[in-house]
Structure 1
Amino acid sequence: MTPTTIDARPTRSTDLRVIGLVGAAHFVSHIFILVLPPVFPFVRAEFGVSYTELGVVIAVFNVISALLQTPAGFLVDRTSARTVLVGGLLLGAASLAAAAAAPVFLLFGVAFAGLGLANTVYHPADYALLSNRVSAGRVGQAFSIHIFAGFMGTAITPAAMVFLATSLGWRGAFVAAALLGLIVAVAIMMLGEPLGGREAARAKAADKSAPSAGDWRVLATWPVVLNLIFFMLIASVSVGTQNYGIVALQALRGTTLSFSTTAITVYLMFSACAVLVGGWLVSRTERHEVVALIGLFVSGVALIPIAFIDLGTTILISLMAISGFANGVIQPSRDMIVRAVTPPGAFGRVFGFVTTGFNIGGVVAPPVFGYMMDVGSPASVIVGTALLSLAAIPVVLITVAQRPRAA
């Protein structure tokens, strides 16, 4: 790569291409994460296994992702984020194809371990590319579109996988998902010229003080560690709402399954749409922590009355919408807070490290909320979710207080 290429300033067209390609990869990554749960009954019947055994497969996926995401971030910083991202997409597609062809459950599980390894690359590669390749004035909006693409992948996957499994069988559904990953990988290879080059070279060209690609010390700074905790708390909020919200509302108020599902769907849809509003906000303010603090407070407080008062359908749905909207608005600001404490040349490793909080929350929170349901305390699920959102507020405040010291 020539110095001219390294120093070239992004234009609107290259920004759009970078955001579109990286967003497409994030969309696919969320589909890959959720391909299995919607087809549990089909896979269970095929291999004659229990739900516990299927749960072990998902646990292995998450453990591998949690353990290897930070090393993947170092790989991104040391080499080319584009190459690592394409490699992850191809490995994910190959793993899903292998799972579709697996004759026995053991090989099926091994294939999902490969899918977990592929999942490690998306956050560090995506955020490194968006931080390094998008114009400074559009980075916040790029983050919001990136998050929105992931949310949309999450939203469409359950219904799409059930439809495909019913039409083509679960193996055919997996092959269809694998083909989508292959298509996006080819698109990035063919259209991703603005994504090319080594991240370390770009960082050094921009800032001679950028840390070396093998430097772990940045991960031990307080602002980065606090952001890991921040991501873990946010992930736990999502677990409480998305995984246990429906059963908690049913047990708490005796609501029907359809109404409880509607309430959670409203929460998720408002959250997804609010991400784009959050992107608009971060492009108009430098006080990203203020957006995050207000959003966390409103999201948590809006849930508390639901746990203690029979509000009626209209008010309950309204509060879920408010909480979901506030939760979505903070997402781009969340990423900008991380970016603000990340030195040039360290985007891959820092985002790889802090987004491991998603995996930690995904492992720790489900048993806790499940225990609350088992002991007959659905109100604790809702209150616990609200308190986790509020607990993130002092974490953000301390992070902001630490920022000048880190600089």
Structure 2
Amino acid sequence: MVQNAKSDPSDRAPSRQSRFGLNAANFFQAEAVGVVLPILNTFLKEARWRYDQIGLATALLGLGTLLFQTPAGVLVDRFKNRRLLFFVASIVVGVCFGVIPFVPRSALWIDSLLFLSGVAQSIFIPVLGALALALVGYKALNRTLGENQGWNHVGNIVAALLAFVAVRYFGSASIFYSVAIASLVGAFSVYWMRKEELNEEVASGDGKQPKVKWGTILHDRPVLFLLAAVALFHLANAPILPVTALYIKQLGGSSALTTFTVLSAQLVMVPVAWATGRLCDSWGRKPIMAIAFWVLPFRIFSYILAHSPHMVVSLQALDGIGAGIYSVAIVAFAADLTRGKGQFNSLLGIFATAQAIGGVVGPIVSGLVLQHFGFNMTFLGFAVLALLAAAIFQLLVPNTQSMEAPQAASTVNA
């Protein structure tokens, strides 16, 4: 592998200040958007929107992400000031959600703001992955991702607790103010990372041919199989959180209780993400990711057997296993598949596009099925999709772990 003139940051430990900045960016980005969807659905239901209208609004947020996710990955590969990209995206998200309580609750206003927010959110996955790789390099990447995602999920926990208090005492509209504040703080926190400690060339995949077209990575069969599995995984998973929020209301649960659909999962995600960063090196990427894929169909099907709002909240904790593993392992897969080739962030953008497809199609389908066939048929249909995703991953996706991965540097966590 060709070495850059600037040394690989994995050869040295980053400063505590830079690690704090990266963790803070993950924390506040999660706090900004972590609980907004279930509360948004409740907010729109209180405004007398139909289930299919709510599904369409949620889908438009995902559509904004979908249309710009792959271009966002390419942009992060090409634009070297990644801290600025994160700053701008955070500000846009904060403004979009912050003004929702002040605009007419019509489809034109709400749908437009959600779409623009989705466009801005398309930056987050590739830019945070790029900043982690730029700061610590390949050897310590997985452990750093585990640490970052741990803080990301802590951000979701704090957001859920604050949302519970805010919604209970100030109404569902109060969640949008907290999103605006968290986005503003997160936008500035990324500048705690020291510029001189970021190797922006390594952050693009350290490729020998950095100008190769990003589309060439789609000629790789492991990439295609993983992409198909990821797309189905998120198609099945994306609508389940907002559907469970509505199911809780159907079973007689309170609006405040819906915030715990996020909290129960996030409490599990923190230790799972931390452990995944280490297990990706010792077990390999595929065995740990397979757990995430197989837990999903089991969780979705189990909702059919849940007949109390508190049981639904408890089952939602299983989402913490899948999400905690996926958020770390997918970046490890992308790093392995592009190492020495470049286009790391472009591949992250493509995987995130598959995730966004689920965010668009899933809520539309779930809204229609829910409106016409009810909750049980909705859960059953999406459980079958999740089972198909798990089968494709298990049978067709290889383990991508490189020989150097087990030697991951421990200095980053010293």
Structure ID, larger Rg: 1
* 2:325 counterpart of 1:330: yes
Unaligned regions of 5+ residues in structure 1, if any? Answer: none
Q: What whole-Å deviation, never above 9, does each CA across 1:38-76 have from its counterpart, x for those lacking one?
A: 53367x38xxx7776665544332211110111111111
**Range with greater deviation from structure 2 (361-370 or 31-40):** 31-40
Structure 2 counterpart of 1:64: 64
Structure 1 counterpart of 2:26, from 7, 23, 27: 23
Aligned mates of 2:111, 2:302 — CA distance in 1? 42
* 2:243 counterpart of 1:244: yes
Judged with a 3 Å threshold, the aligned counterparts in structure 2 of structure 1 residues 278 and 333 are, in CA distance, closer, same or farther, namely: farther
Q: Is the 8 A contact 1:25 1:89 kept in 2?
A: no
Aligned mates of 1:82, 1:349 — CA distance in 2? 17
Structure 2 counterpart of 1:349, from 346, 350, 353: 346
* 2:329 counterpart of 1:340: no
Aligned mates of 1:79, 1:246 — CA distance in 2? 39
SS at 2:210 equivalent: coil
Letter in 1 for 2:143: Q
Structure 1 counterpart of 2:294, from 293, 297, 317: 297
Aligned mates of 1:296, 1:373 — CA distance in 2? 24
Q: Is the 8 A contact 2:73 2:350 kept in 1?
A: yes
Aligned mates of 1:248, 1:94 — CA distance in 2? 30
Aligned mates of 1:244, 1:53 — CA distance in 2? 13
Determine which structure has greater relative contact order: mean sequence separation of CA pairs < 8 Å that are 6+ residues apart, divided by chain length.
2
Judged with a 3 Å threshold, the aligned counterparts in structure 2 of structure 1 residues 117 and 363 are, in CA distance, closer, same or farther, namely: closer
User: How far apart are 1:145 and its partner, in Å?
Assistant: 3.8
SS at 1:355 equivalent: helix
Structure 1 counterpart of 2:125: 123
Structure 1 counterpart of 2:234: 235
Structure 2 counterpart of 1:363: 360
Aligned mates of 1:244, 1:50 — CA distance in 2? 13
Q: Is the 8 A contact 1:30 1:153 kept in 2?
A: no
Q: What whole-Å deviation, never above 9, does each CA across 1:123-146 have from its counterpart, x for those lacking one?
A: 111112223322534322333344
Aligned mates of 1:93, 1:84 — CA distance in 2? 14
Q: What whole-Å deviation, never above 9, does each CA across 1:176-221 have from its counterpart, x for those lacking one?
A: 43232122212222x121587673x3368x8451432753322453
What does 1:183-202 correspond to in 2, within 5 Å? 183-189=185-191, 191-194=192-195, 199=200, 201-202=201-202
Which runs of at least 4 in structure 1 moved beyond 6 Å after TM superposition?
Answer: 49-52, 165-172, 246-251, 260-263, 310-313, 316-319, 401-404
Name the TM-score, length of structure 1 as normaliser: 0.74
Q: Is the 8 A contact 2:90 2:184 kept in 1?
A: yes
Aligned mates of 1:158, 1:322 — CA distance in 2? 13
Provide the aligned C-alpha RMSD in A.
Answer: 4.4
Q: What whole-Å deviation, never above 9, does each CA across 1:112-162 have from its counterpart, x for those lacking one?
A: 443222111101111122233225343223333444444455555466457
Q: What whole-Å deviation, never above 9, does each CA across 1:220-245 have from its counterpart, x for those lacking one?
A: 53333333323222323434642334
Judged with a 3 Å threshold, the aligned counterparts in structure 2 of structure 1 residues 326 and 402 are, in CA distance, closer, same or farther, namely: closer
Aligned mates of 2:40, 2:105 — CA distance in 1? 16
User: How far apart are 1:328 and its partner, in Å?
Assistant: 4.4
Q: Is the 8 A contact 2:151 2:270 kept in 1?
A: no
Structure 1 counterpart of 2:181, from 148, 165, 179: 179
Q: Is the 8 A contact 1:339 1:347 kept in 2?
A: yes
Judged with a 3 Å threshold, the aligned counterparts in structure 2 of structure 1 residues 174 and 275 are, in CA distance, closer, same or farther, namely: same
Structure 2 counterpart of 1:136: 138
Aligned mates of 2:233, 2:79 — CA distance in 1? 30
Aligned mates of 1:184, 1:322 — CA distance in 2? 26
* 2:387 counterpart of 1:390: yes
User: How far apart are 1:339 and its partner, in Å?
Assistant: 2.6
Judged with a 3 Å threshold, the aligned counterparts in structure 2 of structure 1 residues 100 and 179 are, in CA distance, closer, same or farther, namely: same
Judged with a 3 Å threshold, the aligned counterparts in structure 2 of structure 1 residues 395 and 20 are, in CA distance, closer, same or farther, namely: same
Aligned mates of 1:196, 1:19 — CA distance in 2? 12
**Range with greater deviation from structure 2 (127-136 or 171-180):** 171-180
**Range with greater deviation from structure 2 (113-122 or 229-238):** 229-238
More helix by share: 1
- Aligned pairs, how many? 387
Identity %: 17
Judged with a 3 Å threshold, the aligned counterparts in structure 2 of structure 1 residues 381 and 249 are, in CA distance, closer, same or farther, namely: farther
Aligned mates of 2:7, 2:88 — CA distance in 1? 23
Letter in 2 for 1:228: L
**Range with greater deviation from structure 2 (65-74 or 110-119):** 110-119
Q: Is the 8 A contact 1:297 1:390 kept in 2?
A: yes
Structure 2 counterpart of 1:40, from 31, 40, 44: 44
Judged with a 3 Å threshold, the aligned counterparts in structure 2 of structure 1 residues 265 and 186 are, in CA distance, closer, same or farther, namely: closer
Aligned mates of 1:225, 1:126 — CA distance in 2? 23
Judged with a 3 Å threshold, the aligned counterparts in structure 2 of structure 1 residues 71 and 57 are, in CA distance, closer, same or farther, namely: same
Q: Is the 8 A contact 1:74 1:214 kept in 2?
A: no
Q: Is the 8 A contact 2:29 2:90 kept in 1?
A: no
Q: Is the 8 A contact 2:145 2:277 kept in 1?
A: no
Aligned mates of 1:110, 1:342 — CA distance in 2? 35
Unaligned regions of 5+ residues in structure 2, if any? Answer: 403-414
Letter in 1 for 2:208: S
Aligned mates of 1:31, 1:279 — CA distance in 2? 20
Aligned mates of 1:108, 1:368 — CA distance in 2? 20
